[in-house]
């Protein structure tokens, strides 16, 4: 009897260890993952300084009342045994550049100073770099990145689905021209070192972007790349033009390279990955076939609809195999607007790049965040991939903004 | 006397039968409306989308007593960013001004009695009363 129960215990133990192998993720051969941190709060974007200290921006303060969490793995076992935090404002953006740490709320960007040990010196008294940006609930999160000159790029998402006169209402027409675009629906550029800037001091760098949560500066092309969340609900508002099955696949989630003055076409057009065309939005007289957006960009990459790209990261390290060098990782939060069809996403994708251009098809890099295949319920997803960061050793970190996990993915030579 | 009792009991049984059947019909009609107008955001399991679309399953307001508020939310849409059971939701809910009183009653009966929800059915009279209150 004693032996039997021991055996049972051993089985249970082996089973639970196996269940947690690679923190529950499915990865390409040679990669492994650890659960770097868990239950830290709604972790949106993450960033790591050259000392290997990871900072996560929380969507709203966690139980400990922190909205920026600092994590460190001092003994190198892949798990952050040290955790602390500060900050009272929720938000999404966080980005470290040298000894400066930028973090955003939904209407402002703050700057913290790091000392020689990579520690923040002014947690309670950051400088306000940008303030009074529109924060009107929908697409309010402000993602940020910097270029080598120290300019900061801020996503100001459109507070609307398709710029209808009455948002998300059946039969309401698109406004012409869309009045939202003067102060949202694009990426704005500011000086990363000046205090108290707002619209007057900044510049609309690129427009026609409904909501860009993932953005990163590409050092090879010396230009900004973004991933856009395509519009929702074609079938709800135009049931005679789009079936549920068509809505589940339209429009594509898109990646663009944005130079100053570029326009990606929202709200007038959306990108149809099957016709490979910019299609006039039905709110603006489209019928699913009419083309539009002559002067709007074509995407560099088109991903399946509604998967919600949350972060974009160009891989600079040497730890991963050569194919990953300078390529793009994109985290997909997971869809909701594919219902009643099964949801998609809940993974990290990879796009290989050569000479600053995509050089092959996108592929799934890390999967299994949702816990169950064929996930039909966003609420039931175990984890929803959000932020991405590259450690000084070339490991890739992925945050989850539902339960607050941080995954560390490494390649074992 | 025995006969009388039997009659009353069977009358009650028949009434109950029609009630249950009526409810089942209302639930079925409510489900149809839910699938075409609400499921996209609130999902098949009523679980909504974290931070974006509020859950209806296990939501205290949905199974609560304030029917008039629920009627108004469906008629006029909802975009207030107040805490619902402690969480905030960012999306703007579509209004359904064209739904008839009986359809709203069926729809509310459906969401109040689906997934893990169990609450009283909503009557047309309650929907009409909500209109007057406004």
Q: What is the ipTM of this complex?
A: 0.83
Cβ distance B51 to A401 less than 8 Å, yes or no, reads yes
The architecture in CATH of the region B2-132 reads Orthogonal Bundle (1.10)
Interface of B with A (CB under 8 A): 35-37, 39-41, 43-45, 47-53, 55, 77, 79, 81, 88, 90-95
Residue B9: its pLDDT value, please?
73
Cis peptide before A276 (omega within 30 of 0): no
Cβ distance A140 to B90 less than 8 Å, yes or no, reads yes
Cis peptide before A285 (omega within 30 of 0): no
Residues in B closer than 8 angstroms to A60, CB to CB, are: 88
Residues composing chain A: 413
Average pLDDT over residues A266-271: 98
Cβ distance A379 to B52 less than 8 Å, yes or no, reads no
Cβ distance B35 to A340 less than 8 Å, yes or no, reads yes
Average pLDDT over residues B107-111: 97
Cβ distance B53 to A336 less than 8 Å, yes or no, reads yes
Cβ distance B51 to A168 less than 8 Å, yes or no, reads no
Whole-number Å distance between alpha carbons of A297 and A294: 8
Cβ distance B51 to A236 less than 8 Å, yes or no, reads no
Provide the pLDDT confidence category of residue B1 given band limits of 50, 70 and 90.
low
Residues in B closer than 8 angstroms to A370, CB to CB, are: none
Whole-number Å distance between alpha carbons of A277 and A279: 6
Kindly state the tokens that stand for A343: 């949801």
Provide the pLDDT confidence category of residue A19 given band limits of 50, 70 and 90.
very low
Provide the pLDDT confidence category of residue B24 given band limits of 50, 70 and 90.
confident
Average pLDDT over residues A11-35: 75
Overall fold of domain A4-411? Neuraminidase (2.120.10)
CA A60 to chain B, closest CA, distance in angstroms equals 10
pLDDT tens per residue across span A112-158: 999 999 999 999 999 999 999 999 889 999 999 999 999 999 999 99
Kindly state the tokens that stand for B33: 């409306």
Provide the pLDDT confidence category of residue B22 given band limits of 50, 70 and 90.
low
Cβ distance B35 to A137 less than 8 Å, yes or no, reads no
Average pLDDT over residues A278-295: 97
Mean pLDDT of chain A: 93
Residue A330: its pLDDT value, please?
98
Q: Does residue A374 surpass a pLDDT of 90? A: no
Provide the pLDDT confidence category of residue A10 given band limits of 50, 70 and 90.
very low
Percentage of residues in chain A having pLDDT higher than 70: 94
Three-state secondary structure of chain A? CHHHHHHHHHHHHHHHHHHCHHHHCECCCCEEEEEEECCCCCEEEEEECCCCCEEEEECCCCCCCCCEEEEECCCCCCCCCEEEEECCCCCCCEEEECCEEEEECCCCEEEEEECCCCCECCCCCCEEEECCCCCCCCCCCCCEEECCCCEEEEEECCCCCCCECCCCCCCCCECCCCHHHHCCCEEEEEECCCCCECCCCCEEEEECCCCEEEEEEECCCCEEEEEECCCCCHHHHCCCCCCHHHHHHCCCEEEEEECCCCECCCCCEEEECCCCEEEECHHHCCCCCCECCCCCCCCCEEECCCCCEEEEEECCCCCCCHHHCCCEEEEECCCCCCCCCCCCCCEEEEECEECCEECCCCEEEEECCCCCCCCCCCCCCCCCEEEEEECCCCCEEEEECCCCCEEEEEECC
Residue environment code for B14-31, b if the CB has 16+ CB neighbours within 10 A, otherwise e: eeeeeeeeeeeebbebbb
Minimum mean pLDDT range among A177-186, A222-231, B85-94, B124-133 = B124-133
Question: Which chain A residue lies closest to B38 (C-alpha atoms)?
Answer: A236
- The CA–CA distances, whole Å, from A382 to A60, A62, A287, A320, B106 equal 19, 18, 38, 27, 33
For the beta carbon of residue B121, count every other beta carbon within 10 angstroms: 18
CA B119 to chain A, closest CA, distance in angstroms equals 22
Cβ distance A169 to B77 less than 8 Å, yes or no, reads yes
Residue A247: its pLDDT value, please?
95
Query: Choosing among B31, B32, B48, B51, which should be mutated to test the A contact, i.e. which has the most A CBs within 10 A?
Result: B51
Q: Does residue A277 surpass a pLDDT of 50? A: yes
Residue B14: its pLDDT value, please?
64
Contact A102, A151 (CB under 8 A): no
Nearest-by-Cβ selection for B43 from A60, A377, A402: A377
Q: Does residue B27 surpass a pLDDT of 60? A: yes
CA A366 to chain B, closest CA, distance in angstroms equals 22
Whole-prediction pTM: 0.91
Cβ distance A140 to B43 less than 8 Å, yes or no, reads no
Cβ distance A42 to B51 less than 8 Å, yes or no, reads yes
Residue A264: closest CA among A161, A187, A203: A187
Contact A242, A215 (CB under 8 A): no
Residues in A closer than 8 angstroms to B36, CB to CB, are: 239
Cβ distance A377 to B47 less than 8 Å, yes or no, reads yes
Residue A413: its pLDDT value, please?
67
Residues in A closer than 8 angstroms to B54, CB to CB, are: none
CA atoms within 13 A on the CB side of A64: 15
Cβ distance A167 to B51 less than 8 Å, yes or no, reads no
Residue A15: its pLDDT value, please?
41
Average pLDDT over residues A284-305: 97
Nearest-by-Cβ selection for A59 from B49, B51, B91: B51
Whole-number Å distance between alpha carbons of A392 and A395: 7
CA B67 to chain A, closest CA, distance in angstroms equals 23
Residue A319: its pLDDT value, please?
98
Question: Which chain A residue lies closest to B52 (C-alpha atoms)?
Answer: A138
If DSSP codes are grouped into helix, strand and coil, which group holds residue B101?
helix
Which sequence spans correspond to the domains of chain B?
2-132
Average pLDDT over residues A310-321: 98
CA B72 to chain A, closest CA, distance in angstroms equals 16
Whole-number Å distance between alpha carbons of A84 and A405: 15
């Amino acid at each position: 009897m004693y032996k039997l129960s021991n055996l049972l215990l051993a089985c249970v133990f082996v089973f639970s260890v196996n269940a947690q192998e690679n923190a529950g993720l499915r990865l390409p051969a040679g990669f492994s993952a650890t659960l770097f941190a868990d239950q830290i709060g709604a972790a949106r974007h993450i960033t790591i300084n050259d000392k290997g200290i990871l900072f996560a921006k929380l969507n709203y303060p966690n139980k400990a009342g922190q909205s920026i969490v600092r994590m460190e793995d001092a003994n190198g076992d892949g798990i952050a045994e040290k955790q602390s935090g500060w900050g009272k404002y929720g938000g999404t953006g966080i980005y470290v550049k040298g000894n400066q740490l930028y973090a955003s709320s939904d209407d402002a960007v703050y700057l913290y100073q790091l000392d020689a040990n990579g520690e923040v010196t002014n947690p309670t008294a950051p400088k306000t770099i940008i303030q009074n940006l529109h924060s009107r609930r929908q697409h309010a999160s402000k993602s940020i990145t910097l270029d080598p000159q120290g300019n900061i790029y801020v996503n100001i998402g459109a507070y609307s689905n398709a710029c209808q006169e009455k948002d998300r209402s059946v039969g309401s027409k698109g406004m012409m021209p869309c009045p939202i675009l003067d102060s949202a629906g694009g990426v704005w550029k500011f000086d990363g070192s000046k205090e108290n800037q707002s619209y007057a001091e900044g510049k609309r760098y690129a427009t026609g972007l409904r909501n860009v949560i993932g953005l990163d500066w590409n050092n090879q092309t010396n230009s900004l790349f973004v991933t856009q969340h395509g519009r929702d609900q074609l079938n709800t508002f135009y049931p005679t033009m789009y079936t549920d099955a068509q809505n589940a696949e339209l429009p594509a989630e898109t990646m663009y390279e944005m130079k100053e003055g570029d326009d990606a076409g929202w709200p007038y057009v959306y990108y149809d990955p099957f016709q490979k065309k910019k299609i006039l939005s039905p709110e603006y007289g489209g019928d699913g076939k009419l083309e539009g957006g002559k002067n709007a960009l074509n995407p560099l990459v088109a991903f399946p609809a509604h998967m919600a790209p949350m972060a974009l990261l160009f891989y600079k390290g040497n730890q991963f195999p050569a194919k990953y060098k300078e390529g793009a990782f994109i985290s997909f939060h997971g869809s909701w607007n594919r219902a009643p069809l099964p949801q998609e996403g809940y993974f990290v994708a990879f796009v290989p790049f050569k000479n600053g251009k995509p050089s092959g098809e996108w592929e799934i890099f890390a999967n299994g965040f949702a816990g169950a295949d064929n996930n039909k319920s966003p609420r039931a997803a175990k984890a929803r991939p959000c932020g991405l960061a590259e450690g000084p050793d070339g490991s890739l970190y992925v945050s989850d903004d539902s339960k607050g996990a941080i995954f560390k993915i490494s390649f074992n030579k | 006397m025995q006969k009388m009792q039997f009659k009353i009991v069977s009358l009650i049984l028949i009434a109950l039968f029609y009630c249950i059947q009526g409810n089942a019909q209302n639930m079925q009609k409510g489900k149809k409306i839910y699938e075409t107008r609400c499921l996209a955001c609130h999902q098949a399991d009523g679980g909504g989308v974290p931070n974006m679309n509020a859950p209806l399953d296990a939501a205290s307001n949905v199974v609560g007593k304030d029917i008039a508020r629920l009627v108004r939310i469906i008629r006029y849409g909802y975009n207030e960013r107040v805490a619902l059971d402690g969480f905030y939701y960012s999306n703007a809910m579509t209004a359904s001004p064209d739904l008839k009183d009986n359809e709203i009653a069926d729809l509310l009966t459906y969401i109040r009695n689906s997934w893990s929800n169990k609450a009283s059915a909503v009557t047309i009279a309650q929907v009409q009363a909500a209109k007057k209150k406004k």
